[in-house]
Structure 1
Amino acid sequence: MARETVSLYRDYCRALIGVLWVHQREILAAQSPVAGVERLIHATKKNQNPKYTFFDKRFPKLPSYLRRAAIMAALGQVSSFSTRYVQWQSGRRKRRDASPPRRTGENELNPPLYRGQCILFDEDFSQAKIKVWSGTDWIWITLKIAAKRQRHEAPKNKALSPCLLADGKGLRLAVPFEMTVQYLYRKTMQRACGVDLGINTTATASVITPDGTVIARQFFHRGMDIDRRDKDLVQVRNKARLTMGKGGKLCEGFCRGLYRKARHRNREMAQSISREILAFAQSHGAEVIVLEYLKHFRPRAGRKRSTLRQRFHGWLHQLLARRITDRAEEAGLAVDFVNPAGTSKYAFDGSGPVKRDARNKALATFGTGTGKQYNADLNACYNIAARFFAKVLGLTGRKAQACDRGKSSATQPRTPVTLSTLWLYAQNNVLESEAPTTAT
């Protein structure tokens, strides 16, 4: 019955789209578009002869909440088509020979269930009563909620009206939550979790204090999933070579299934790793998660058709950053971004630039002359967290920037901000506090 309810709602929206295409101008010009559509399709005591009697005969006893939600959804579909068609007519196209958008009544809309009218939850969200179409009437059915997430457990989160999703995978409820996000004042933060998103290791995190003390550190990697994803992409490359030969073009939708599997693996890795990073930060008392600002970063590495370039294309830096930001906002943690230049290039102990191992890029040799070797990703996450505290404490002045040399004509290069910057700052504060005072 739930699947029939979803199918009935989509049929209703499909019929509404045809009416809205005919009366679009007068409906949009009306003071209330929803009321204007209802006068055309729904018979009431004051409106006994609507223009389209098909709706009351084909969809009897449809709840008013569902009817008005369907009207708004159909208006969105029609307005979207009109906007895209006007853009095509004005010449704003991806290609000069692009075909115009096509009108269609097909949709994948899902019925919203308004709380108190179409759905009733228990106090512990273990059961839900849903109003569905039985074939002859609208009735209430009780369904047990088999699985749920943690958003309802937060006392400040307010559950809103869900949508009913019924497909081949089963019956689900998409419940939005209204959350109150509160951030702590930056200068009162005592622990920051720096996260480095890399190629060799998916993510490396460490918790740092303002005096440069490393509280905890951890590596997050999904080697098995990455190998499976890369194996699928190798199949795509081999099939493309066999299809094209030395020249030619690939057809539209080539290896669509393999690309879809790779995309879903990336999404699953980003969800699980972001959840683990947030749990790591909370378990060690971190108040902010610090990431590198890589939104407009376009990596250029490896020769054409090389595996290194393919690994860069599968890098999860933006997807992971979005997932971490969303989860941190739900948990009440702040998220900050720092300049990525030089975080992996300079050693955290202030010994200068590091030298990467030619065979193992995850290994870095510090420039102290002693041949000290350290993990490159761990070194980078130390510097990322240090740059956040340097920004909060006001240490990122003209002589403490994340680059080798500025654009000015100064002869001295700018000093990179590393973990040693916090060590020196804490040491100077201790010396100032221990200095003797003289009385006059």
Structure 2
Amino acid sequence: MKRSIRTDKWEIEISQQKRQWMKDTIAEYRLFCKALSIVVINNWPELQKAESFCATVERLIHPTAKNPSPRHNYFHKRFYKFPSYLRRAAIEYVQGQVSSYLSRYGKWLDGERRHPHEKPPLFNANAGCYPALYKNQLIKYAEDFSYAQIKVRKHNDWVWIKVKIKSKRQRHLIGELRSPMLIVTNKQQHLSVPIRVSHPKRKTGLACSVDMGINTTATMAIVDQHGTVHARMFFHPSKEIDRRDKSLRAVSKAARKTKQLSKGFCKQRYRKAQQYNRQIAQITSRAIVNFAVKHGADTVVLENLKGWKPRAGKKRSKLKAKFHSWLKSAVADLTQMKFEEIGGRIFKVFARGTSSEAYDGSGPVQRNKKQYEIATFSTGKIYNADLNAAYNIAARFWAIILKLTHGNSGQWLKGKSSLNQQRIPVTLSTLWGRGAGSRFSCVA
């Protein structure tokens, strides 16, 4: 059984007065964390040796019947009636904050610097943190999760207030709720709710290979270990792409009319284009996952494009601009998060040569210079280059799983040594000899 943590955004509806109480709560929590960070950083060696970090810090700042006079009496006087669970949430946060700073400072002392005169890292006690709300101690949900009661600071006291949960997803119905964070800014207010989701692993024996390109955003194929193609699909959200490109063309048009670009030039248009990009990545990843689930695939195979840099196009061509807006990393990350949540897995293969070799094993292909998505095989066959690449991506995955290749090189050979044998690129035809049956059971 595979488990993962996913965070949902639950919007809450509150009045202006309740918003101010929540802001006061967050401000009080941040002041507590700021003061606590000084205590923790000054007593760090002692705290590291302690059996319980949280309990030792509490003995330093919080008076009890057994500990009537703590070393730092300031906290009891300044933060009167501060909730105990909120105090422990602050201790956990500050522990990570100080540990991160000391690790970076230690690396700086050891000489791990970008340049010889780099200044040491500074400790920022004014971190913009938000309080974690422990269940039944700082937050109480209704049975149908239509509203929640949250403990906030009101007029130097801590009281419960009722807030309406305006919108939420359905993930909490199948998972285990964890402690949410209260997020309140000048523009929004919501609960950031982590949910632990358990799901069985998918085992179907089918792989969904994906070729991500410029002319077609995603080309998908369902392939089994014998090289049989069960389904294929092209996905290209042209409407969203046209909207993004229109926004960027407006920026170029405005730049041509300006002699010198000021700071924040066309900030709103760039922000709009960025939002379109996020939307394109979201709907593309959702289309990939839906296609894989529809046809029963347990693995989504992607190309490993980390560190890949495109070549610039010809002078005045739009190719370079297209590559700058290519969402290869965003689509891959979102696909991984969505598919792993339902029990699937993501596998990445070596990218070079997937488009340049024909899937039927006839050798290198020739790309059409005017229509780059068209490939001509050495046999004269004309085929879609992206679909050809999707077949070869799946073939490389199955070749690794079936141990037909040595590593993730994209090439295979029969012997263990490459001295006397020529390495052959892995294509879909590599798998055909391993099982009987048709090579294409579906062309949809």
Q: Choose the corresponding residue for 1:375, options 384, 390, 403.
A: 384
Shift of residue 193, structure 1, vs aligned partner? 1.0
Question: Matched residues in 1 for 2:256 and 2:112: separation?
Answer: 32
Q: Choose the corresponding residue for 1:293, options 304, 317, 336.
A: 304
Segments of 5+ residues of structure 2 without an aligned counterpart are: 1-20, 440-444
Report which stretch shifted further, 262-271 or 251-260. 251-260
Q: Which residue of 1 aligns with 2:39?
A: 19
Question: Matched residues in 2 for 1:125 and 1:160: separation?
Answer: 14
Q: Which residue of 1 aligns with 2:194?
A: 176
Q: Choose the corresponding residue for 1:328, options 334, 339, 351.
A: 339
Q: Which residue of 2 aligns with 1:200?
A: 215
Q: Which residue of 1 aligns with 2:13?
A: none
Segments of 5+ residues of structure 1 without an aligned counterpart are: 245-249, 431-440
Shift of residue 397, structure 1, vs aligned partner? 7.5
After superposition, the C-alpha distances for 1:198-219 in whole angstroms (9 at most, x for unaligned) are: 2222221122234444333222
> In 2 relative to 1, CA 297–182 (structure 1 residues): closer, same or farther, beyond 3 Å?
farther
Report which stretch shifted further, 294-303 or 38-47. 294-303
Question: Matched residues in 1 for 2:267 and 2:116: separation?
Answer: 26
Helix, strand or coil at the partner of 1:179 = strand
Shift of residue 425, structure 1, vs aligned partner? 3.2
Shift of residue 67, structure 1, vs aligned partner? 0.3
> In 2 relative to 1, CA 104–207 (structure 1 residues): closer, same or farther, beyond 3 Å?
same
Q: Please list, as runs of the form range in 1=range in 2, the aligned pairs for 1:204-223 lying within 5 A after superposition.
A: 204-223=219-238
Question: Matched residues in 2 for 1:51 and 1:15: separation?
Answer: 14
Residue identity over aligned pairs, in percent, reads 47
The answer to whether residue 63 in structure 2 is matched with residue 52 in structure 1 is no
After superposition, the C-alpha distances for 1:41-97 in whole angstroms (9 at most, x for unaligned) are: 222222223343332233221111110111221232223222323333333212223
Normalising by structure 2, what TM-score?
Answer: 0.80
Q: Which residue of 1 aligns with 2:12?
A: none
Question: Matched residues in 2 for 1:28 and 1:391: separation?
Answer: 45
The answer to whether residue 348 in structure 2 is matched with residue 348 in structure 1 is no
Report which stretch shifted further, 298-307 or 328-337. 298-307
Normalising by structure 1, what TM-score?
Answer: 0.80
Q: Root-mean-square deviation (CA), in Å?
A: 3.6
Shift of residue 239, structure 1, vs aligned partner? 6.0
Residues paired across the two proteins, number: 415
Helix, strand or coil at the partner of 1:349 = coil
Q: Which residue of 2 aligns with 1:415?
A: 424
Whichever residue aligns with residue 61 of structure 2, its letter is I
Q: Which residue of 2 aligns with 1:434?
A: none
> In 2 relative to 1, CA 110–49 (structure 1 residues): closer, same or farther, beyond 3 Å?
same
Whichever residue aligns with residue 198 of structure 1, its letter is G
- Give yes or no for contact 1:291–1:337 (8 Å, CA) kept in 2: yes
> In 2 relative to 1, CA 428–174 (structure 1 residues): closer, same or farther, beyond 3 Å?
closer
Considering fraction of residues, name the structure with more strand: 2
The answer to whether residue 70 in structure 2 is matched with residue 34 in structure 1 is no
Question: Matched residues in 1 for 2:252 and 2:100: separation?
Answer: 35
- Give yes or no for contact 1:339–1:402 (8 Å, CA) kept in 2: no
Question: Matched residues in 2 for 1:5 and 1:318: separation?
Answer: 38
Helix, strand or coil at the partner of 1:269 = helix
Report which stretch shifted further, 321-330 or 260-269. 260-269
Q: Please list, as runs of the form range in 1=range in 2, the aligned pairs for 1:131-142 lying within 5 A after superposition.
A: 131-142=151-162
Question: Matched residues in 1 for 2:345 and 2:296: separation?
Answer: 13
The answer to whether residue 290 in structure 2 is matched with residue 275 in structure 1 is no
Question: Matched residues in 2 for 1:316 and 1:230: separation?
Answer: 14
Question: Matched residues in 2 for 1:260 and 1:86: separation?
Answer: 38
Whichever residue aligns with residue 199 of structure 1, its letter is I
Helix, strand or coil at the partner of 2:95 = helix
Whichever residue aligns with residue 67 of structure 1, its letter is R
Shift of residue 278, structure 1, vs aligned partner? 0.7
> In 2 relative to 1, CA 402–311 (structure 1 residues): closer, same or farther, beyond 3 Å?
farther
Shift of residue 375, structure 1, vs aligned partner? 1.9
Q: Please list, as runs of the form range in 1=range in 2, the aligned pairs for 1:50-199 lying within 5 A after superposition.
A: 50-154=70-174, 157-180=175-198, 182-184=200-202, 189-199=204-214
- Give yes or no for contact 2:350–2:410 (8 Å, CA) kept in 1: no
Helix, strand or coil at the partner of 2:209 = strand
Question: Matched residues in 2 for 1:91 and 1:251: separation?
Answer: 38
- Give yes or no for contact 2:140–2:150 (8 Å, CA) kept in 1: yes
Whichever residue aligns with residue 362 of structure 1, its letter is E
Q: Which residue of 2 aligns with 1:427?
A: 436
> In 2 relative to 1, CA 409–148 (structure 1 residues): closer, same or farther, beyond 3 Å?
same
- Give yes or no for contact 1:232–1:262 (8 Å, CA) kept in 2: yes
Question: Matched residues in 2 for 1:190 and 1:218: separation?
Answer: 19
Whichever residue aligns with residue 202 of structure 1, its letter is T
Question: Matched residues in 2 for 1:237 and 1:103: separation?
Answer: 44
- Give yes or no for contact 2:404–2:412 (8 Å, CA) kept in 1: no
After superposition, the C-alpha distances for 1:351-393 in whole angstroms (9 at most, x for unaligned) are: 3222111122122222212xx3222112211222233334444
After superposition, the C-alpha distances for 1:102-130 in whole angstroms (9 at most, x for unaligned) are: 23321111111111212223444333222
Question: Matched residues in 2 for 1:95 and 1:181: separation?
Answer: 47
Helix, strand or coil at the partner of 2:388 = helix
- Give yes or no for contact 1:236–1:255 (8 Å, CA) kept in 2: no
> In 2 relative to 1, CA 111–240 (structure 1 residues): closer, same or farther, beyond 3 Å?
farther
Q: Which residue of 1 aligns with 2:398?
A: 389
Shift of residue 237, structure 1, vs aligned partner? 12
